[in-house]
């Protein structure tokens, strides 16, 4: 059975109590976990970006702020969450998918599982659809280990990016806010600006005003002309640390287009390695 990568709150309400359904509330940091403790969709299990979906390094110059954990570590997480090859997995966050839900989606897909969807509009959409919201914590039932040796979706590392950057045959999409891309401000990393040759398509452009995704046709109009001239193995998407880039990869998949590579280290790695940086500021 083929699944759209996006599911609406109405569609979720119809399957909420299916036996094989695993519901994941993805967040980042103390405030997100405190929110989960107060309110989450009934039966949802919490997953944290820093603790579960990244191997946070001491030095972000080696892999960026949110490098991927090893496949073995992620397989162990899936096992703890009760996720098997038969599971139907729905993930959401409270940031329209951009906080950690899309990252979890990408990682599950990269683990070889297809039955993973992101709740369109996230927690807010669930509330508006009157899905059951609770503070009761669900304890997952550990399942058999899904063993995979390598990530099965394509990634780019720093070495490959240094080859892509000056190469006019490649495509680099930077999904950060325009102010960060242009070099006007940088609230998280050390330096503002962008990788030479990168184009800016902010991830928020994937969304409608209500925080739900644009429909597949609209997203195809956005991305198909850009991706059409570049082989998928020479197209890459990045952000600050490989998190919101997954939001754009999700949108591209929803549009029915081939997935580019994910540059996991993203700007947080590139900007710490004494590499060329471009800004749109007057000299």
CB 28 within 8 A of CB 8: no
Task: Please give the pLDDT value at position 169.
Answer: 86
**Cα gap 69→270, rounded to integer Å:** 19
Q: For the chain, list the domains and their CATH numbers.
A: 6-134 (3.40.250.10), 155-270 (3.40.250.10)
Task: Identify the bridge partners of residue 23 per DSSP, sorted by sequence position.
Answer: 90
Q: What is the pLDDT of residues 95-148, one digit of tens each?
A: 988 889 999 999 999 999 999 999 999 999 999 999 999 999 999 999 999 989
Q: Is the pLDDT of residue 279 over 60?
A: yes
Task: Please give the pLDDT value at position 283.
Answer: 57
Q: Which residue numbers are catalytic?
A: 239
- Prediction pTM value: 0.97
**Cα gap 282→167, rounded to integer Å:** 25
**What does the buried/exposed string (b/e) look like for 177-189 if buried means 16 or more CB atoms within 10 Å of the residue's CB?**
beebbbbeebeeb
Confidence of residue 191 (pLDDT cuts 50, 70, 90): very high
Q: What is the pLDDT of residues 2-61, one digit of tens each?
A: 789 999 999 999 999 999 999 999 999 889 999 999 999 999 999 999 999 999 999 999
Instruction: Identify the weakest region by mean pLDDT among 80-84, 214-218, 230-234.
Output: 230-234
């Amino acid at each position: 059975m083929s699944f759209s990568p996006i599911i609406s709150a109405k569609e979720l309400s119809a399957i909420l109590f299916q036996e094989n359904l695993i519901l994941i509330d993805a967040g980042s940091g103390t405030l997100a976990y405190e929110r989960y403790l107060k309110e989450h969709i009934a039966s949802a299990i919490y997953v944290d970006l820093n603790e579960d979906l990244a191997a946070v390094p001491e030095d972000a110059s080696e892999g960026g702020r949110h490098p991927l954990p090893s496949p073995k570590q992620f397989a162990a997480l899936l096992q703890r969450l009760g996720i098997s090859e038969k599971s139907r997995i729905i993930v959401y966050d409270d940031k329209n998918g951009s906080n950690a839900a899309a990252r979890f989606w990408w990682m599950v897909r990269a683990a070889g599982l297809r039955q993973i969807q992101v709740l369109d509009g996230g927690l807010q959409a669930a509330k508006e659809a009157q899905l059951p919201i609770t503070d009761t914590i669900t304890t997952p039932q550990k399942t058999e280990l899904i063993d995979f040796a390598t990530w099965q979706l394509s990634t780019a590392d720093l070495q490959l990016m240094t080859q892509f950057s000056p190469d006019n045959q490649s495509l680099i999409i930077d999904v950060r806010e325009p102010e960060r891309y242009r070099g006007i401000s940088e609230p998280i990393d050390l330096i503002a600006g962008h990788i030479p040759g990168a184009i800016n398509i902010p991830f928020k452009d994937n969304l409608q005003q209500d925080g739900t995704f644009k429909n597949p046709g609209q997203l195809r109009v956005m991305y198909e002309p850009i991706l059409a001239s570049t082989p998928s193995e020479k197209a890459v998407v990045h952000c600050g640390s490989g998190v919101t880039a997954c939001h754009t990869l999700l949108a591209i998949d929803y549009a029915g287009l081939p997935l580019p590579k994910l540059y996991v280290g993203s700007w947080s790695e590139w900007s710490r390695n004494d590499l060329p940086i471009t800004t749109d500021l007057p000299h």
